[in-house]
Structure 1
Amino acid sequence: MLISLSFHVLALPSTSDQHGLLPLGILGGRAINQSSSLLDVFQVSPPVLSPKGAPCEATLMVHSFAFSYGQPFVGEYTPPSCDFNRVIFNFTVVSAGRQYDRLGLMYFNDTEIFRTSTAEPTATGIEWTYMKDMTNYLVLFKEPQKIVFDLGNLVNEIYTASFNTTLTATFFNDDVAGAPADLIIPISARQSAKNAPSAFSLPDQNATNTLTLPRNVKKAVFSISACGQAAEEFWWGNVLSSNTLTFPQSVLYGYSPFRETQLYIDGMLAGVAWPFPVIFTGGVVPGFWRPVVGIDAFDLREDEIDISAFLPVLCDGDEHTFEIRVAGISDDGYGHGSLTDTVGASWVVTGKIFLWLDASDFITTGSNLARSDPDPTLHISSSVSSLPNGTNVTLEYSVQVQRHLSLSSTIQTSEGSRVASWQQTLTFSNQGNYSNGGNLQINSQNTKGIDISSIGYSRVYDYPLWATTLYASFLDGNFTIGGEIDRSKNVQALGQLAFPSGLQTFGSKESIHPNMAPFAGTSTTNRQNGTATYISVPSQSTSYGSGSTEQDLKFAGVEASLSDLQYGLPNIKGSTELYHRHVLAINNSVVEDDESFSGQTFPVHHSLSTGNQDFAPVDLRRMLGRGPYGA
């Protein structure tokens, strides 16, 4: 498996071991299993520590998801007898046949701990493995839990593939483990007692829980897990609501291409997240995503908000409400707009509160909360033009959003008094163009943000996305889609809130880089671009595709001074590349794949695939988020 970090395949030069630069016991075995007839599908992402000779492992799930809507896997987790402060998941899936991509959510009781999606299989079969550091949930792994793993799937005469899954956990001790939360409280629909998943679906449901928190909290972080489905899967390609009927034969989705997930505490805005535009493996043109899936497709990452400034209020012993909302933009068709309290269906959301506790006999107090959270600044416009005879209609639209918010208080813990603050500055732009009767779309979008916490954490991110798609239909009912995509996820994160930074892999006693002390954080640049085509033949209940995708990922340790974070961004002193991977895939086959660990490059070998890519037949609206109903 490409992402699996087993330890018996890759042969490395002896000089690597002598120089101590490569963790032979940690990161070996990254070559493909040549004996397998299954196509290996993978997500390009930094490696995860899974050391050789770990004291204990456990199998949490072996299950086949066939006709599984409303029928999640339900099992029990019992903590292992060994001592551990790190937990790593290994999620392996095998599937053969035709199938859509599916969304999977895993819970411990009512708490979501892992969100993933599936690849689209081939007739001869695919497999993938994804490894994830779960140490931030250490407190949950120390107690028995009910496992609810929801992966709704459909199997019939056309969609024939089940997803055969195995989930294992590795437990071990490591000297670079951080200090995970003492308590984790879910914000969810709380349905585990009914053996049901606990996600909210917005806007149909109200994603609110009312809770009483412990009174001795010294640090609190809220995480939001959210992704759009159905009419909201391609939210980034939506248009202004006033333009949805521009092309009568191709009804478009509205509320603009802008989305904001919001956290409200007792009715007050406590922070926001502007989501990364995840594209699932059936999205836009499926040929993009085999065998390299989209960025984050196997691991839908959560956004974090430091809510420590609310602790003087939250630790008063009373009940408090926590609510997650998803907002878009409504407009009047004349360039005026405002944030909505609703969007299309549907957003699948949950949240969590990570709490670090003080001495049991201490009550956290502090000053009143100072807030600055003005409404975001919106600049929107659209225009429709056509030839004198009314043909060749073109829709152009532009959406720009800026927001800044800051919250602060002085909190008193057993360690003394300190300022707790959270600041966010975000900008968004989207330039969209529809023409050719709504069948040609060009979309250029960028999301940028800066999050700063007074506890020594900052995150600077940039999500550029450019995509173009062309749809054509024929008299015999067949249709084709062609597309190009160029997108990136670039993140510089210093310090740590609730989730691991990724440095843990490289800073262990068997590390790639022997001296991790200078690194205050990480820098990740991850770019993916490609072209793909898709042909649907409804009369044969089948479809075919081809495509090429290139991806380049760089992961570096960053040296910086965190002392001035309370007043602005830290001073970056330098960075050191720890991991680099470059992949080129064409028509099911990886033709180039090189990995570098601290500057030493090793090719990853893959077996070649032949023939066209065969995909499950899907309607146009499901693939593109637009088009004629029932197509």
Structure 2
Amino acid sequence: MASPAAAASGHRRRLLLLLIALLLLPFAAAAAPHRHRVPSRHLASLNASAPPTTFFEVDRPIRPPLGSAGPCSALLLSHSFGETYGRPPVTAAYAPPECLAAARARGASLALAVLEWAADCRGRQFDRIFGVWLSGAELLRSCTAEPRATGIVWSVSRDVTRYAALLNEPGEVAVYLGNLVDKTYTGVYHVNLTLHLYFHPAPPPLTQHADLIVPISRSLPLNDGQWFAVQNATDVQSKSLSIPSNTYRAVLEVSVSFHSSDEFWYTNPPNEYIQANNLSSVSGNGAFREVIVKVDDHIVGAVWPFTVIYTGGINPLLWRPITGIGSFNLPTYDIDITPFLGKLLDGKEHNFGFAVTNALDVWYIDANLHLWLDHKSKKTVGSLISYDAPALALNLDYGFSGLDGKFVTGASRHVSATGSVKSSYGEVTTTFYQRFSYVNSNVYRSNGTVQVVNQTIDAKSGVFVKDTSAVLLSEEVHKVFPLYVYTGTSDQVGDEYSLISLVKLGINEKSVSGGKLGFSYRSLRNAQSARGTMKVKKNLVVSGLGQTHQVYKYMGTDGCYFRDVSSKNYTIISDNSGDSCSKGSPSSGVKFSSNKNQPARKRLLKL
């Protein structure tokens, strides 16, 4: 994890390697077993009796549907995560809350299920990735906040209604949060995990959630999370399983996170460049990554992941108390594999596999297979009508003079499949497609001390379902992930230097669906702009400044929500929010400039 640049002479190479040594600090969230960092000098001067700071990720509040009753709440697990790295996940038996059975007995149905993670921590600690599983199915992946001497608190709420089939059955909750505690890094994460349930007074008119959820993850016992670890570009992690013979719909929900050498994959130079300049310690494989999902020998879909920046990423002072988009509630990605049921309904086991193009160590990946079953039939019959998955188109242009230069990476991919399934509901044809495009500009300036990354991921997908007489579902989703990162070092004398960083990232998403379930529309513009400075000596943050501005605007057929919030050095400067859909509501977004200069990635622990 370093700021790479060309070495044109012995003097320049020594300068570059010195820069790499200073910046190549292991800030991947809980990815490496050992991290050697020196704490900030002024940490002890903080008032330990001050109230804790509340950290948060800006997101739309989860609200119960109109007319629903609740909540009925159940504490699933309570634990303090201290010396937990490389040890088994913390587990607790799960029994469906009594209110679930009571609701079914009176003819009611589940309207909303919310999983709430509430935690606090005091002292000093790195950011740690963690996961929550129920009976092997991942329900939440998140990153911890980095604490301070006065303490921090935060909570994460995730809508888990789609896992109703799991919530209705006994099972086991597993939580893995790999933490290390020593004389320097003293933070212990105290956690409560709670399930909140809301109910409709009557059964829903149509079944919207899967009848069965099959985890595609590693099984306990483990001394790690239940995710698979993909360690390089040739590593394929997989699991074989068979599906019920009466399945008529199947959707893969994929969970992805990237760490260690690939935590900042979008800043990495190509291997050819590293080899030509003998920079063996620099992370490479270029600045493009994709997760490939295969069923047997077929690529059924891909994930081009949103560039989540964890709470210690690039400059940890940026994410206090407003954390990076997706850092507390990492997104999942759906791939509809219904067109392939014709190949899966043979009663045999089939291999579900995951690989990462150009990967470096390490990517954590698993999936939940959501299955809809025909309860009026013992067997459904399917056939694959058409399938198209051309090879990835990937290109790279670059030019350098000495330590300064530019890489431009472009990529595109298309996957589509159409298949039919005959069940008691009749013969239904499903088409699923994905179209991706990617461009990344990676610039080095000022004798290699400045790196600028400007990247856009554009992802389109659609599902079309029809029977012999009508369109049952037509859904299209368009997502754009803009990213701009500037990092630069200056005033370097020996082991002391200054770091300047600027980050702009966001999610622009629109989706439209129609069919027998009705029409729905969603639009989200979520933009974040953060900048900061740090003075570093002997790998120690001795002073610094961080400030963040975020604008979140959601509009849809299910309501509206906006929030405009700014922070500076742990303090909220302004905060405006509301749920009005009127044009006069605050809606100005953070614009993403096309600046051609912006610095690299590096992670320093915290104040």
TM-score bracket relative to the smaller structure: 0.7 to 0.9
Among residues 294, 312, 317, which one is paired with 1:282 in the alignment? 312
- Structure 1 residues 473-482 or 82-91, which shifts more? 473-482
Cα distance between partner residues in 2 of 1:602 and 1:88: 28
The Cα of 1:480 is off from its aligned counterpart by 2.8
Matched, 1:405 2:415: yes
Give the C-alpha shift of residue 194 in structure 1: 4.9
Matched, 1:132 2:158: yes
Q: Within 2, Cα distance between the matches of 1:596 and 1:519?
A: 24
Task: State the Cα distance separating 1:525 from its structure 2 match.
Answer: 0.7
Q: Distance in 1 between matches of 2:400 and 2:264?
A: 22
The 5 A counterparts of 1:450-529 are 450-455=460-465, 456-472=474-490, 474-495=492-513, 520-529=520-529
The answer (yes or no) to whether the contact 1:148–1:196 under 8 Å persists in 2 is no
Q: Are 1:447 and 1:464, in contact at CA under 8 Å, matched by a contact in 2?
A: yes
Provide the secondary structure at the position in 1 that maps to 2:603: helix
User: Which residue of 96, 103, 110 maps to 1:79?
Assistant: 96
Cα pair distance change 1:523/1:419, threshold 3 Å: same
Q: Which amino acid aligns with 2:525?
A: T
Q: What secondary structure is seen at the aligned counterpart in 2 of 1:344? A: coil
Work out which of the residue numbers 336, 341, 358 in structure 1 matches 2:374.
358
What is the CA-CA distance between 1:267 and the residue it aligns to? 1.1
Match for residue 61 of structure 1? Answer: 77
Distance, in Å, in 2 between the alignment partners of 1:597 and 1:277 is 27
The 1:304/1:289 distance shift into structure 2, 3 A limit, reads same
Distance of aligned partners of 1:234 and 1:453 in 2 relative to their CA distance in 1, 3 Å threshold = same
Mark the CA change 1:418 to 1:311 in structure 2 (over 3 Å): closer, same or farther. same
Question: Do residues 202 (structure 1) and 230 (structure 2) align?
Answer: yes
Q: 1:583 aligns with which of 550, 565, 589?
A: 565
Q: Does 1:146 align with 2:176?
A: no
Tell me what 2:243 maps to.
213
Specify the alignment match of 2:394 in structure 1.
378
The residue that corresponds to 1:10 in the other structure is: none
Query: TM-score, length-normalised on structure 2?
Result: 0.80
* Structure 1 partner of 2:603: 623
Query: Contact 1:404 / 1:424 at 8 angstroms: preserved in 2?
Result: yes
Report deviation, 1:154.
1.1
Secondary structure at the residue paired with 1:198? coil
User: Secondary structure of the residue that 2:317 maps to in structure 1?
Assistant: helix
- Change in CA separation of 1:36 and 1:306 when aligned onto 2, cut-off 3 Å: farther
Deviations 1:533-577 (A, max 9, x none): 1223338x554431111000011115xxxxxxxxxxxxxxxxx96
Distance 1:203 1:411, change over 3 A: same
Aligned to 1:597: 579
Match of 2:341 in 1: 311
Q: 1:587 to 1:259 in 2, by over 3 A?
A: same
Matched, 1:268 2:286: no
CA drift of 1:245 comes to 5.3
Larger relative contact order (CA 8 Å, sep ≥ 6): 2
Other-structure match for 1:116:
142
Aligned to 1:188: 217
Length, aligned pairs only: 517
* Equivalent-residue separation in structure 2 for 1:496 and 1:193 (angstroms): 44
What's 2:451 paired with?
A: 441
Please give the alpha-carbon distance, in whole angstroms, between the structure 1 residues aligned to 2:457 and 2:601: 25
State the Cα distance separating 1:318 from its structure 2 match: 1.5
Q: Secondary structure at the match of 1:313?
A: helix
Given that 2:69 and 2:199 are in contact with CA atoms closer than 8 Å, whether structure 1 keeps it comes out as no
Segment drifting more, 251-260 vs 288-297: 251-260
What CA distance in whole angstroms lies between the structure 1 residues aligned with 2:494 and 2:520? 60
Partner of 1:536: 536
Distance 1:173 1:351 in 2: 27
Structure 1 gap ranges (5+): 1-34, 329-342, 387-392, 498-516, 559-575, 604-619, 626-631
Identical positions, percent: 29
Q: Deviations over 1:424-447 (max 9, x none)?
A: 111100011123443310010000
- Shift of residue 314 of structure 1? 0.9
Q: Aligned pair 1:41/2:70, yes or no?
A: no
Q: Report deviation, 1:67.
A: 1.5
Relative to structure 1, the CA distance from residue 373 to residue 271 in structure 2 (aligned partners, 3 Å threshold; closer, same or farther) is same
Deviations 1:300-337 (A, max 9, x none): 11111000001111112122111011112xxxxxxxxx
Secondary structure in 2 aligned to 1:312? helix
Q: Deviations over 1:72-131 (max 9, x none)?
A: 321111111112512112211111111111101111132211101011111111111121
The answer to whether residue 545 in structure 2 is matched with residue 546 in structure 1 is yes
Corresponding letter in the other structure for 1:555: Y
Distance in 1 of aligned mates of 2:195 and 2:164:
12
Distance apart, 1:491 and its partner CA: 1.2
Summarize deviations over 1:520-540 as a string: whole Å, max 9, x none: 13111100012111223338x
Q: Distance in 1 between matches of 2:388 and 2:351?
A: 20
Task: Find the aligned partners of 1:195 and 1:429 in 2 and give their Cα distance.
Answer: 38
Q: If the length of structure 1 is used for normalisation, what is the TM-score?
A: 0.77
Deviations 1:249-289 (A, max 9, x none): 79432111111111101111101111100000111111110
In structure 2, the residue matched to 1:508 is none
Asked if the contact 1:372–1:405 (Cα under 8 Å) also holds between the matched residues in 2, the reply is yes
> What does residue 224 of structure 1 align with?
254
After TM superposition, give the deviation of residue 415 of structure 1 in Å. Answer: 1.2
Q: Which whole-Å CA distance do the structure 2 matches of 1:218 and 1:286 have between them?
A: 47
The equivalent residue for 1:94 is 120
Equivalents in 2 of 1:518, 1:139: separation in Å?
A: 24
C-alpha separation between the residues in 1 aligned to 2:225 and 2:394? 36
Q: Is the 8 A contact 1:312 1:364 kept in 2?
A: no
Could you tell me how far apart the structure 1 residues matched to 2:449 and 2:82 are? 34
| SS of residue paired to 1:438 | coil
Shift of 1:206: 3.7
Shift of 1:174: 3.4
